[in-house]
Structure 1
Amino acid sequence: MNPSTFFVPEFIKAISDNNEESLRNILSEPHPGLYTFSMLQPFFCDMMVSEVENFEKWVGTVKLKIMRPNTMNKYGVVLDDFGLEPMLDTLMEDFISPLSRALFVEVGGQSLDSHHGFVVEYGNDKDRELGFHVDDSEVTLNVCLGNKFLGGDLFFRGVRCEKHVNSDIQPEEYFDYQHVPGQAILHRGRHRHGALPTTDGYRINMILWCRSSNFREMKKYQKDFSCWCGQCLHEKKERQCLTVDATRLAFLRKDE
């Protein structure tokens, strides 16, 4: 895997420098917990789109059934199914893990050890939109490969643990993200999101769900996720306010 074939120079340099300052210099954080950066060369984006199209044509010719990426997407393919597992292993271990160690340590970003990689397709004769959900990952990489399209923005609505996944959206948690070919967005898998309708053209994205078995095991023994779950944090602050109010009231009564 020759990095210069796949990645833009500034991304390669930041990873090679291997320090948090260099990594953060290439990142934008348009909304808390959402990080965007230029990642893929146009050549690689075009190559991936061609690979997917050729794979789908071959499957149609030999009349095999394609395993779809997940239960929500009716179009797209699992990248491991046509020999890209070693490449995705390298992508996660050498290029995404340095970022996740700096950005998402509270959700196992320092111990990613498995992945699920796939592409999704949206357009007039494909999926049009994607409903509100969380990913089966600790950290998700989502990169737009192209092509020409209108709409299809990602909408984000706050990070939640399993207990609070359907809790109300707070006003500050609303954020929409517009896809740019070659640009990546990196976020916690538990960041609730979906895709608005692609109203014209054809959009294809490469997605890598990065997982940590250590974090998943540790999570079984935790009840408070206020360091990353918005609702846990909201409830914790409410409890703290109630405690302060009760203490103040007790002092006032004592002085009477």
Structure 2
Amino acid sequence: MSLPGADRREVQGPSPVSGGGNGVAVASDLNRLAIVASNQSTSQRLRLNPNKDHKPDSYEDLQLDFSPSIFSSLERYLPPTMLALPRDDKVKFMKDILLKYLPHGERNRVQKHREYRQKIISNYQPLHREIYTMHPQTFFVPSFLKAINDNSEESFRSIMSEPSPGVFTFEMIQPRFCELLLSEVENFEKWVNEAKFRIMRPNTMNKYGAVLDDFGLETMLDKLMEGYIRPISKVFFQEVGGSTLDSHHGFVVEYGKDRDVDLGFHVDDSEVTLNVCLGKQFSGGELFFRGTRCDKHVNTGSQSELLAHV
């Protein structure tokens, strides 16, 4: 995991995670949401502080313009008079607020991306449906699950090393899950090629890879973030909203011959980044973390002499 704004370099795929298997990167853009409605009557204004005792509804079964976890988070800010209303009424109220504060161009982008994603999900047939639902016992190694269940800084540090301030490494994913996820990604890419379907790449820097959320894994990754990343970020990244992470951007990228061979110096657009090594046999894969943002940390081209193994 990396502190938001940490400058880093990736070369020929992420470095292996001990016991976790294999070489591709999964990253999460995890953002904090705090919106206050100013044009509503007093009884319909959002709360200034969240109602932490309120258990919000689940919105994962709905087709929404925004991540379901955003609605669950925003529900805690609803005025007391609205908390007992039917879920559909709360959705409409929250959606109106979110759309009001979204620029017109962004609304169009969100709508087009929703249509794009729905077209994929309607036509793509998953190969390993078991990875589309969170199964902690088969996804995670026992040491990681124990640390999460104990839920303390001491338990987290017991499985971690900190090679650089704000950068933590630890065993997390079962090798079998890595194999299934890689197989699913390969199956998706095969479908893309056969269907001649043009997909959006994970970011502006990588030419090879896929966005996991776009072919059905969004709900599972939401569970991953909420139940297994947020407890850790709450402890180690509190100062940047680690306890209120409520959205993500999950993707894989590919490195190798006839693929991307490196990733230049850059700053992640996230509060917290989780890199998971999924690759098969490979060499290289070093990561270089230069620190949090400052005048010296700007985008550069690739320079092999800057590499350091993490």
**Matching residue of 2:278:** 145
Instruction: Work out which structure has the larger RCO, using CA pairs closer than 8 Å and 6 or more positions apart in sequence.
Output: 2
Give the structure 1 partner of residue 264 of structure 2.
131
| Structure 1 CA distance for aligned equivalents of residues 138 and 298 of structure 2 | 42
Cα deviations by residue, 1:125-162 (Å, 9 ceiling, x for unpaired): 1100000001110000000012111112111111116x
- Local SS of the residue matching 1:77: strand
* Matched ranges for 1:44-193 at <5 A: 44-160=177-293, 165-166=297-298, 176-178=308-310
CA distance in 1, matches of 2:238, 2:206: 29
SS of residue paired to 1:110: helix
Tell me which residue corresponds to 2:34.
Answer: none
1:17-56 to structure 2, matched below 5 A, reads 17-56=150-189
Note if contact 1:28-1:35 (Cα within 8 Å) is conserved in structure 2. Answer: yes
**Aligned residues between the structures:** 172
Q: Which runs of 5+ in 1 are unaligned?
A: 168-173, 179-256
CA contact (8 A) 1:75 1:121 kept: yes
TM-score of the superposed pair, with normalisation by structure 2: 0.53
* SS of equivalent to 2:228: helix
Shift of 1:175: 7.3
Question: In the alignment, which residue of structure 1 is the partner of 2:125?
Answer: none
**Does residue 163 of structure 2 align to residue 10 of structure 1?**
no
Separation in 2 of the partners of 1:164 and 1:117? 29
Letter in 2 for 1:10: S
In the TM superposition, structure 1's runs of 4+ consecutive aligned residues that sit over 4 Å from their partners are none
Question: Which whole-Å CA distance do the structure 1 matches of 2:152 and 2:285 have between them?
Answer: 34
User: In the aligned structure 2, how far is the partner of 1:85 from the partner of 1:177?
Assistant: 31
C-alpha distance in structure 2 between counterparts of 1:61 and 1:139, whole Å: 35
What secondary structure sits across from 2:220 in the alignment?
helix
Q: Is the 8 A contact 1:76 1:120 kept in 2?
A: yes
1:44-76 per-residue CA deviation (whole Å, 9 max, x = no partner) reads 000011000000000110110121000000000
8 Å contact from structure 1 (residues 157, 175) kept in 2: no
The residue identity in structure 1 corresponding to 2:308 is D
Give the share of equivalent positions with the same residue, in percent: 67
* C-alpha distance in structure 1 between counterparts of 2:238 and 2:149, whole Å: 20
Q: What code does the residue aligned with 2:206 have?
A: N
RMSD over aligned Cα, in angstroms?
1.9
SS at match of 2:243: coil
- Kept in 1, the 8 Å contact 2:209–2:253? The answer is yes
More strand by share: 1
2:130 paired residue number: none
Q: Provide the C-alpha distance between the structure 2 equivalents of 1:144 and 1:81, rounded to a whole number of angstroms.
A: 20
Distance 2:146 2:254 in 1: 31
**1:2, distance to aligned residue in structure 2 (A):** 1.5
Distance, in Å, in 1 between the alignment partners of 2:298 and 2:266 is 9
